[in-house]
Structure 1
Amino acid sequence: MSSPARTNPPLVIPSVHGIGVVCGLAAGVWLGAAEAPTKLVNSGLSPYAISLCMVAGVFTARWTVPTLLKGTRQVFADLAEHRHLIPIAILAGMLWAVANTLTVFAIRDVGLAIAFPLWNTNSLVGILWGRLLFGELKGASRVNIAKVILGALAIVIAAVMLGFSTIQASGAHADRAIGGILAAIGASLLWGTMYIPYRKAYISGLNPLSFVTVFTLGELGTMVALVLALDGGAKAAVFHSGETRHLLFWLFLGGFVWVIGDLFQQFATKYLGIGRGIPLSNTNQMWGLAWGALVFGELAHADAAHRLLVVIGSLVMICGALAVTTAVATEKERASMREAVVRECARYDLDYDRIVRSSTGQSPAAGSERRAGRDYVILACGIGIFVWLGTNAQVPQLAMNLGWIIVLAAVLVASAVAAAMLLWKSTRFS
C-alpha cells in the first residue's frame, strides 16, 4: 500500500455532482413512500412493534439488494479491507433504529404530513458535523456558504411554522401534539448524527452496498432490545398475536422501500457529502406530504389557515434544501475534503490513490465477480419471506385513495430505474 503520510498527490477529483443529485432526489421519493405503512400504528400495534417489523424488513432488504447487485464475495472482501469501520456501521444502525421508533410515535401523535418536515431538520445537524469533522464548506466560495446558511435557516423556519400549525390545529391528536413534535425532533438529532459514520465510511473507500449489510446488525439488535425492555418483553404481542400477522407484510414492505431510498441516500452522501446530500434527500418531506394528504387524507378536515401553514412551510423547507444542494463544491473546498481523506488513509494505512478513485466511482469494489452459492440462498430466503408474508396479508382497514396510490407508485418505479441506470453506467454501483 502507498503511504499517505509520505505523499499527497495533487489528483483532481472529477465532478460527480450530477450523480449525487439524481441519487438524492430518488432517495427523497423512496424515503417519503417508506413511511406510509407506519400509518398502521392506527390499527392497534404499538410503535415499538411497528418499528421492529419495519426493521425486520430492512434487515431482509439490506442483505438481498447488495447480494443481488454485487454478490457476497465483493461485499465480504470490502468489509475485510475496512474492518475498522464495522463497529462504526453497527453504531450507525443502532442510532437509526431508535430514530425510526421515534418517527412512529411522531406519526401517531401529529400525522405523517406534519412529522416529516420536523424530523427533516436532521440536515442542519448533518451540515454541522460535515463542517466540523470532514472539512465540508472549508474553502467554499461566499456564494456557496450563503446558499448553505440561508438554506439551513429556511429549514429551521419551515420546521417552526409546521410545528406551530400542528399545535394550533383542531385535529384528533391535538392533545398529543407536543409529544409528537418532541419525538420528531429527537429523530432529527439522531439521524443527523448517524451521518457521521456514513461519511467516515465513504471517505475511507467503503462501498455503500457493503456498509449497509453491517449497518443492519445494529438496527435489528437495537429494536429487539427495545421491544424486550419497553414493550412487554418476551410476552410482547408482536411475538405471539396472530391478529397482527396480516399486517406484517405491509410493515416489511415499508422497510424494504426504506432500504431502496436509503441506498440512494448513501450514494448521494458519498458523492455530495453530508451537507449537500442529506438536504437533497430530505425532499422526502414533499413525498411524505403527498402520501399523507393525497392517499390518507390527513388534511381533509384541516381549516384554511392550517393548510396554508403546512403548504408554505413545506415549500420553504424544500427551497432551503435545494439552496444547500445547488452549492456546487469549488476546487478549494474539494481540496479541504481531500485532506480529510489523507487523514483517514494515514490513520488506517489505506491506499490514497485507490480511495480517491473510489470516491469518484472509478474503482469497483474488490472481489470476484463470480457468484457464490450462498448468494442464491440469500436471495431465495428474501423472496420466500415476502411470499410467505404476502399469503397472510390483508388490506388494512384504512381510508386510502387508490388512484393516488397508483400514481405515486409509478413515480417510485420511474425514479428508481433512472437513478439505478445512471449509477450502473457511471460507477457500476461502486
Structure 2
Amino acid sequence: MANLGFLAALGAALAWGSYMVPFKKSRNSNLTQFQALMAAGIGFSGLLISLVLGFPLSFNLYGLASGVLWATANMVALIAISSLGLARAVPVISSLIIVSSFLWGALIFNELTSGLLVGFSGIGLIIFGVILISAIGNTGSKNIKKGLLATVLAGVIWGSQWVPLKMGNTNALNLFFPVCFGIFFSGLIFFVVKRTEFKREAIAESLLSGLVWNVGNLLSLISLSIIGSSKMGPISQVATLVAVLWGLFYFKEVTNKKARIQVLIGAVILLAGVATLAFA
C-alpha cells in the first residue's frame, strides 16, 4: 500500500510541475487573472471529479481552510517571484515546503517509524537537489527584502496546507471538494480585492492549468492518506525538477551545456533524497 502512496506523490509532482505549461504556451503575462481563472478551473473540475467519483460535496471547514492556505500561498509566491525572479524564489520556497511539511508530519503527527535521522538525511538531499536544479538562469532582483519575506511566507504556508486535512481526522479524499471550493472562493476574492481588469486572454489555457493542477491535488490527497505529509510533501517537490525539464527541453529556455549538466546532477541528488525518505 505504501508503494501506491509514493507513486501518487510522484504523480502529483508530475502534474504540479506541468500545470503552468498551458498558460506559458499562451505567452500571457497577466498573473492575477491567471490565478483567478486557474482557481475557477480547480473549482469546476473539483465539482465534476467529485460527482464522478462519488466524493461528498461538503463544505468541511478543515478542507476549506486547506484551500484558503493554498490560494494565499500562491498569491504570496507571485509577489516573491516578481521581486526575486524564479531562480532565487523557487528553490527557497520548495526547500521551506519540504522542511515545514516534514516537520509537521514527523514531529506533530508522529508519522515516521524508523527515526528522524534517516528522514532528515533524505530531506537534506532533496533540498540540495532542488537548489541545484533551480539555481539556473537570471538571478536579477528588484526588491530583495520584500521578495525574501514573501518567499518565506509562501514556503511555510504551502508546507502547512495539509495540516488542516490531518486535523480533520477523516479520509483525505472526503475533503477533496472543500479544498477545491476553498481555492475557488479565495481566488475570486483576491481578484475582486485587487480590482484587476478582466481581459479575454488565455482563458482556456488558465482553466486547463487549473484542471492539471487539480489532478495533482487529487493524487496528493491519495498519497497523504497513505504515507502522510512528512513523506508526501517533500516527494511532491520533485515538481521543481519536472518544471525545469519543461523549460529546458520543451521551451528551450536554457541552452547552456553546463546548466543542463547541473540540472542532471541535481536530479540524481533529488531522487536519491526521495529514495532515502522512502526508508524513513
| TM-score bin (small chain) | 0.7 to 0.9
CA distance in 1, matches of 2:265, 2:143: 20
122, 125, 128: which one pairs with 2:103?
128
CA distance in 1, matches of 2:80, 2:251: 16
Report what 1:153 is aligned to. Answer: 124
Alignment of 1:128-277 (within 5 A): 128-137=103-112, 140-142=113-115, 145-161=116-132, 165-166=135-136, 169=137, 171=138, 174-176=140-142, 178=144, 183-201=150-168, 204-208=169-173, 210-229=174-193, 231=194, 233=195, 236-238=196-198, 241-242=199-200, 244=201, 247-277=202-232
Q: Would you say how many aligned residue pairs link Structure 1 and Structure 2?
A: 277
CA shift, 1:134, in A, is 1.2
Tell me whether 1:49 sits opposite 2:33 in the alignment.
yes
Tell me whether 1:66 sits opposite 2:87 in the alignment.
no
CA shift, 1:282, in A, is 2.1
2:130–2:241 Cα contact (<8 Å) kept? no
SS of 1:174 mapped into structure 2: coil
Gaps of 5+ in 1: 1-15, 328-430
1:21–1:277 Cα contact (<8 Å) kept? yes
280, 285, 300: which one pairs with 2:235?
280
SS of 1:197 mapped into structure 2: helix
Distance 1:58-1:65 versus aligned 2 partners, 3 A rule = same
Q: Which has the larger radius of gyration?
A: 1
User: Percent identity, aligned pairs only?
Assistant: 21
SS of 1:135 mapped into structure 2: coil
CA shift, 1:90, in A, is 1.2
1:50–1:104 Cα contact (<8 Å) kept? no
Gaps of 5+ in 2: none
1:155–1:316 Cα contact (<8 Å) kept? yes
Distance 1:315-1:102 versus aligned 2 partners, 3 A rule = farther
CA-to-aligned-CA distance 1:270-329 (integer Å, 9 cap, x gap): 1001111222222222211221211112212x473x4444443343233223321233xx
Distance 1:283-1:311 versus aligned 2 partners, 3 A rule = same
CA-to-aligned-CA distance 1:235-265 (integer Å, 9 cap, x gap): x222xx34x2xx1100100000010111001
Report what 2:3 is aligned to. Answer: 18
Q: TM-score if structure 2 supplies the norm length?
A: 0.85
* Larger RCO: 1 or 2 (CA < 8 Å, sep 6+): 2
Distance 1:18-1:157 versus aligned 2 partners, 3 A rule = closer
Distance 1:149-1:110 versus aligned 2 partners, 3 A rule = same
SS of 2:254 mapped into structure 1: coil
CA distance in 1, matches of 2:17, 2:92: 13
Distance 1:299-1:194 versus aligned 2 partners, 3 A rule = same
CA distance in 2, matches of 1:90, 1:316: 35
Tell me whether 1:96 sits opposite 2:63 in the alignment.
no
1:24–1:264 Cα contact (<8 Å) kept? yes
CA distance in 1, matches of 2:151, 2:273: 19
Q: Which amino acid aligns with 1:153?
A: G
